[in-house]
Chain A
Amino acid sequence: MDTFVFVFAGAFATATPLLLAAMGELVVERTGVLNLSVEGMMAISAAIAFMVVYTTGSHSLGFLIGAVSAAALSVIFAVLVLVFLANQVAAGLAVGILGLGLSALLARSFESETLIPLRDINLPVLSDLPVVGPILFTHDPVVYLTIAIGLVLAWMFTKTRLGLILRVVGENPEAAHNLGFSVLRTRFWAIVFGGCMAGLAGAYASTVLTPVWSQGMIAGRGWIAVALVVFGTWKPLRVMFGAYFFGAALLAELAVQSLGIDIPSQIMSSMPYALTILVLAAVSKDTVRIRLNAPVSLGENYRPSA
């Protein structure tokens, strides 16, 4: 029972960076841009947020400056693909590598330093409920904020004009341009939003979830976030579900250890990655569903004629 509670309660926190980054990437991809630099953007924000929180003690400031730093990196990506019409895959890799390099460089003297994480909320009555209390009502505020962001995005895409514009720019940029919408401006702000979200994700990972700095601490979570967008077939609620599923899977290693089962830890550490491949395959196999939901212009640059 304790293991059960541990996994399901912990999943909310482990899922939070995945979900933040995936929500950002979802918005970017909906406008037709594939930004593969999520890992690098998370890394740079993780490093900078860690240093900010370490020096000032303020998590809010850490999150803010982390998000700004990742957004700055996303601007480089945006300029490459929107202005210089660079291949989106290559540009994402380039900016990702830059982010990973800069994070290692900037935070090199903080290796193995630790921070005090954010305190969990404590609601009267609710937090003290058995099972339900620890699973649902005993998390840090960012966890709830992330869920709120997910719900707001789901509402935005289905009910608002902004959501409609993002969708149509991703479906047919040429037609959107002919109607007088600026494809480049829309894509630019979507990319910057994606950068901010990846930044929040990185900041959460390094200052709240595992408040110890080590180089390479993002460990592929940015890539899992990219895969999550495909799992969720570009729908916010499905992506949320996928993120919590993966959050639980990432905890399986600790859970198995606590149950006293002897499996080499490396095998357990590989599980989320293997799982990513398998779930990705299961979802991608349904090409009709992918074609119905995938933004039609995903990965293609747009150059306004005239």
Chain B
Amino acid sequence: MMKHNTSYPAPVAIENPMSEMATPLLQLSGITKRYPSVVANDGIDLTIQPGEIHAILGENGAGKSTLMKIIFGVAHPDEGRIHWCGEEVRIENPASARTLGIGMVFQHFSLFETVSVVENISLTVPGSLEELADRIRQKSDEFGLPVNPGALVHNLSVGERQRVEIIRCLLQEPRLLILDEPTSVLPPPNVEQLFATLRKLAESGVAILYISHKMDEIKALCSSATILRLGQVTGRIDPRTTDASELARLMIGREIPHATHAEANGDGEDRLVVSGLSYADPDPHSVDLHNISFSVKSGEILGVAGVSGNGQQTMARLFSGEEILPPQFREAIQMMGQPVAHMNAEKRRRLGLSFVPEERLGRGAAPGLELKNNGLLTAHRLGMVRRGFVRRPQRDQFTDKCITDMDVRCSGRNAAAASLSGGNLQKFIIGREMMLEPKLLIVSQPTWGIDVGAAAMIRQRLVDLRETGAAILVISEELEELFEISDRLIVMYDGRMSDPVPTRATHPEEIGRMMIGDFDAVGKSGVDQSWVI
């Protein structure tokens, strides 16, 4: 086994000593891609050998996705060269990437909801539908990826969809398979299953480019890694022999701060009481809710764990008032002691609810509007409107304070929401909602896709708000985050909710089991050591 080497030239395949002299499968040199406000890739070099599992590690915004889009022909580099099997190529579009033998599994799937599995696959793989269905079953057996070719995609779980995506790539017999954050949609126990498939593929000679921001996964799976930060390569290492703090340093450039807080005293008043909430979502693509009951008290943070797509979005809309229930079900949701399930968002907000949605741009903020008017959006009841007219000084003062308090990096209150980075916009939205001094704050995916520094700040602010006596409900996919800030945890699976467990009395493994529907996992000792938080 070779020693890792952090300087150029790039590492060569470790599994196969012969390949040291062989032509690399893919070689990128000096790839640069500029967007109007940011240089997403800045002179990136990358070499991949056949049969290698190569990781691209980096924070959100480091340029990983852009690089993959360039390799797959979705985006084109402004500068730089691409060699495939030693020959210079220009990858015009995904079709030409596929012709070369490159397959890609996207983070947000490119499957069509209203179309069946086999029809989806027939879009990119030639052959009659019957013939394809057979080939799908064959691949599915070979690599342990069970799917039903005739099923409509909108009836499939997120995990099943990912399998369909992978099979679609495999049917084209790729020589390089790109996976973009594939585990972000999987419950932890399914991750090992995916890894087994990927190892089997690599043994058969397929090179795998594995994009992630999770260091443990990369240590478990990959034989070499390229680390990106702010669009540049900061390291080329063997992840199996590099320790985590070194990886973190290369990836983030500094130590990761953690939020700290004392235990909740647990004698607060009920601020949110959900009793027997069931809901059949009129949107056929959403998950129905079944008999959900729990409560959040003042002075505590309740975390809702679960893989995205198990009803969290619907539940958040029912809590925020974006979706309302008929008056006869008003008691199903109570806030600050009042039945609210029939009230619209504005009325609930008057009772002291604040809400930070999962989608920041377009929902939490209007993209084309300036920050000052995005402040007005929900903070108007802080004296910003008199006799139907907007009081501009009050609005502007509020916005300026929010920008300063939350350290929002922007050109000022007149900056359009769309011009801010995801992290800065999230800081603005959280700041705005906190300045409303909520009695109850509901936050969905507080740090999703945000750089580590901003995420840590947001978590600390949530804990600080709890100290002032607010009740906080945090819905998140990041278990690590929930363990860091919540006092109690509940788990959502297929529209159902587990009983709450005190965070200090459980561990990630137990919650992970609950995330695949094993609600009885509480209290049992863990057996599955394949993954670690």
- A residues lining the B interface (CB < 8 Å): 161, 164-165, 167-168, 171-172, 174-181, 287-288, 291-292, 296, 305-306
Q: Which of A165, A288, A306 has the most CB of B within 10 A?
A: A306
For B94, give its contact among A174, A180, A287 (CB under 8 Å).
A180
For B123, give its contact among A168, A177, A305 (CB under 8 Å).
A168
Q: A171-B112, A175-B112 are in contact. List 4 more A-B contacts (CB 8 A).
A: A172-B113, A177-B74, A178-B106, A180-B93
Compute how far the CA of A211 lies from the CA of B74 in the bound complex, rounded to whole angstroms.
53
Contact A180 B112 (CB under 8 A): no
CB distance from A32 to the nearest CB of B (A): 12
Using Cβ atoms and an 8 Å threshold, which residues of chain B touch A175? 109-112
| Interface residue total, chain B, C-beta cutoff 8 A | 24
Q: Name 8 interchain pairs, CB-CB below 8 A, sorted by A.
A: A164-B122, A164-B123, A175-B110, A175-B111, A178-B110, A291-B284, A292-B284, A306-B76
Q: Which of B93, B111, B124, B283 has the most CB of A within 10 A?
A: B93
**When each residue 64-108 of chain B gets 1 if its CB lies under 8 Å from chain A and 0 otherwise, what string results?**
000001000111100000000000000001110010000000100
**When each residue 42-75 of chain B gets 1 if its CB lies under 8 Å from chain A and 0 otherwise, what string results?**
0000000000000000000000000001000111
Residue of A nearest to B104 (CB): A178
Using Cβ atoms and an 8 Å threshold, which residues of chain A touch B110? 172, 174-175, 178-179
Residue of B nearest to A305 (CB): B75
Which 3 A-B residue pairings sit nearest by Cβ, starting from the closest? A180-B95, A175-B110, A180-B94
CB distance from B311 to the nearest CB of A (A): 18
Contact A180 B284 (CB under 8 A): no
CB distance from B126 to the nearest CB of A (A): 10
Compute how far the CA of A64 lies from the CA of B123 in the bound complex, rounded to whole angstroms.
34
Using Cβ atoms and an 8 Å threshold, which residues of chain B touch A287? 282
Using Cβ atoms and an 8 Å threshold, which residues of chain B touch A181? 123
Using Cβ atoms and an 8 Å threshold, which residues of chain A touch B98? 180
- With A291-B282, A306-B74 already in contact, the answer to whether A168 and B122 are too (CB < 8 A) is no
Compute how far the CA of A306 lies from the CA of B41 in the bound complex, rounded to whole angstroms.
13
Using Cβ atoms and an 8 Å threshold, which residues of chain B touch A164? 115, 119, 122-123
Contact B94 A178 (CB under 8 A): yes
Compute how far the CA of A165 lies from the CA of B123 in the bound complex, rounded to whole angstroms.
8
Compute how far the CA of A47 lies from the CA of B114 in the bound complex, rounded to whole angstroms.
41
**When each residue 278-319 of chain B gets 1 if its CB lies under 8 Å from chain A and 0 otherwise, what string results?**
000011100000000000000000000000000000000000
Contact A178 B74 (CB under 8 A): yes
Using Cβ atoms and an 8 Å threshold, which residues of chain A touch B106? 178
Compute how far the CA of A165 lies from the CA of B122 in the bound complex, rounded to whole angstroms.
10
Using Cβ atoms and an 8 Å threshold, which residues of chain A touch B111? 175
CB distance from A46 to the nearest CB of B (A): 36
CB distance from B121 to the nearest CB of A (A): 11
Compute how far the CA of A167 lies from the CA of B95 in the bound complex, rounded to whole angstroms.
19
Compute how far the CA of A175 lies from the CA of B164 in the bound complex, rounded to whole angstroms.
15
